[in-house]
């Protein structure tokens, strides 16, 4: 993929935007881009540098992403609405072509990483609740104030706010800025390798010091020793990222949106969609945080495809899809007969959400019911009946005060003294 039109190969120490940004290490990557931790020499801060592949279609996609990110930044000058902040953007010429680059505020680990770190065991509901509040704040802002649909909400695209600021605390985070492009040395090993090794060692030491108590860019990378990690002290504030698939609600361009497991039924059936597709994905994400399992993990089977399995799984959890909705989409005939029954999957085992949470995930009955009461309306088969993000924020489940909740609030207060940004 590192060829003409493809990724830009980055080495630690590489300079961007006339020397303003200096690459430190790789943070992640996707189909279209690589994301690097970079040092901003102008502000002495760390930033995330997203470098797009250079071919025309990728450049166009990046321009679109920048447009959405810019609108989100313009509408939220105080940066309090739980959406990733675009700091800068520029073009970078490399051997594979011109690459559009986005400079984003530097955040911590993704919720997917958090779920893995917790060994897929599910988190306390008090933590899930704090995360849900952030995601809903972000969605409410995108939907109601900006008129934007994210269309790819999932744990991977929600990042925790790092409680460690590498610029202010370079020792604990294992990072000090690399300001020079490293040169090769005599005996064949490049200095780059040496620096990478040194960085890794330093990061390891720092991780040991932090001993898993706080989320940082390194804090979650250790292998958990116990079954379930102690997540005490981890600040559950987070932000919605990755606007590469986002769109304006009145200017949609794709029929097939969302990552499979988080895809709403109206997208599968192609009956038209709007903001409420994000709400569907939100409910899937909240369930996954609480249980460690994906809510829907469809597979193709003997004589039926992934889509039909997906619809079957939805109906096993939520009951039969109303006939009008089942037969109302452009693709309905592929999956449903005229009575509104699936064509190839005939026997469904109904297992409603509250029972699933109690029987399979061993949640106490009262907690399971309250959580299911919160989630079920968001997964209404009728998209227009789903509550909006704004309405969800008013739901009593989000405002339950439990002992854990109070501990968490106390924890947040002490964290805020450590680092006052990322609100
Ligand atoms: P693509 O569109 O190329 O498939 P993507 O859109 O999924 O990629 P992102 O989700 O924006 O790209 O970023 C990929 C990964 O990089 C993220 O999952 C995360 O691990 C890391 N990352 C992105 N932005 C940041 C950031 N601001 N701070 C820290 N890490 C980040
Ligand atoms: Mg992504
Ligand atoms: Mg993307």
Residue nearest to atom 12 of ligand 1 (CA): 30
Does the beta carbon of 47 sit less than 6 angstroms from any atom of ligand 1? no
Q: What is the ipTM of this complex?
A: 0.96
User: What residues does the ion ligand 3 have nearby, CB within 5 Å?
Assistant: 242, 244
Q: How far is the CA of 244 from the centre of ligand 2 (A)?
A: 8
The yes-or-no verdict on residue 419 having pLDDT over 90 is no
221-224's contacts with Cβ under 8 Å and 24+ in sequence apart are 224/117, 224/118, 224/119
Are 69 and 86 contacting, i.e. CB atoms less than 8 angstroms apart? yes
241 close to ligand 1 (CB < 6 Angstrom)? yes
Rounded to whole angstroms, the Cα distance separating 88 from 198 reads 30
239 neighbors 158 (Cβ within 8 angstroms): yes
Both structure tokens of 369: 């019911």
Average pLDDT over residues 48-71: 96
Q: Flag whether pLDDT at 254 surpasses 70.
A: yes
Asked if 106 and 126 touch (Cβ cutoff 8 Å), the reply is: no
Q: What is the spatial distance between Cα 281 and Cα 180, in angstroms, rounded to a whole number?
A: 43
User: Of residues 40, 89, 152, 380, which has the active-site annotation?
Assistant: 152
Higher-confidence residue of 417 and 278: namely 278
Q: What is the pTM of this model?
A: 0.85
Q: Tell me the percentage of the chain whose pLDDT exceeds 70.
A: 78
Q: Does 307 participate in catalysis according to the annotation?
A: no
DSSP assigned state of 19 = T
Q: Measured from the CB, is residue 147 less than 6 Å from ligand 1? A: no
The residue contributing the CA closest to ligand 1 atom 1 is 30
The residue whose C-alpha atom lies closest to atom 16 belonging to ligand 1 is: 28
pLDDT tens string 266-303 = 999 999 999 999 999 999 999 999 999 999 999 999 99
């Amino acid at each position: 993929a590192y060829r003409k039109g493809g990724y830009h190969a980055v080495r630690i120490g590489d300079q961007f935007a006339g020397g303003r940004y200096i690459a430190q290490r790789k943070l992640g990557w996707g189909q279209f881009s690589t994301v690097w931790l970079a040092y901003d020499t102008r502000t002495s801060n760390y930033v995330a540098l997203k470098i797009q592949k250079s071919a025309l279609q990728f450049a166009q996609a990046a321009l679109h992403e920048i447009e959405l990110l810019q609108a989100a930044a313009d509408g939220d000058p105080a940066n309090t609405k739980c959406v990733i902040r675009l700091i800068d953007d520029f073009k970078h010429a490399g051997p594979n072509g011109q690459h559009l680059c986005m400079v984003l505020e530097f955040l911590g680990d993704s919720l997917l990483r958090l779920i893995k770190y917790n060994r897929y065991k599910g988190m306390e509901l008090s933590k899930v609740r704090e995360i849900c509040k952030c995601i809903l704040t972000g969605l409410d802002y995108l939907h109601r104030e900006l008129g934007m649909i994210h269309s790819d909400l999932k744990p991977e695209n929600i990042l925790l706010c790092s409680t460690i600021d590498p610029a202010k605390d370079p020792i604990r985070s294992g990072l000090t800025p690399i300001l020079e492009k490293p040169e090769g040395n005599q005996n064949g090993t490049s200095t780059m390798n040496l620096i990478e090794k040194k960085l890794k060692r330093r990061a390891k030491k720092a991780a040991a010091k932090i001993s898993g108590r706080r989320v940082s860019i390194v804090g979650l990378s250790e292998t958990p020793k116990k079954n379930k990690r102690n997540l005490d002290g981890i600040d559950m504030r987070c932000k919605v990222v990755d606007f590469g698939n986002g769109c304006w609600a009145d200017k949609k361009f794709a029929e097939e949106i969302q990552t499979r497991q988080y895809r709403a039924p109206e997208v599968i059936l192609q009956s038209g969609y709007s903001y409420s597709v994000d709400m569907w994905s939100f409910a899937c994400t909240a369930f996954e945080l609480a249980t460690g399992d994906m809510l829907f993990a469809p597979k193709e089977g003997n004589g039926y495809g992934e889509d039909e399995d997906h619809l079957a799984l939805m109906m096993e959890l939520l009951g039969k899809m109303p006939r009008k909705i089942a037969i109302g989409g452009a693709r309905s005939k592929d999956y449903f007969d005229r009575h509104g029954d699936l064509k190839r999957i005939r026997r469904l085992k109904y297992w409603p959400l509250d029972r699933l949470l109690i029987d399979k995930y061993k949640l106490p009955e009262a907690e399971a019911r309250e959580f299911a009461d919160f989630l079920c309306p968001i997964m209404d088969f009728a998209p227009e009946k789903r509550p909006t993000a704004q309405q969800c924020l008013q739901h009593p489940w989000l405002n339950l005060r439990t002992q854990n909740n109070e501990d968490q609030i106390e924890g947040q207060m002490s964290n805020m003294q450590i680092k006052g940004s990322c609100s």
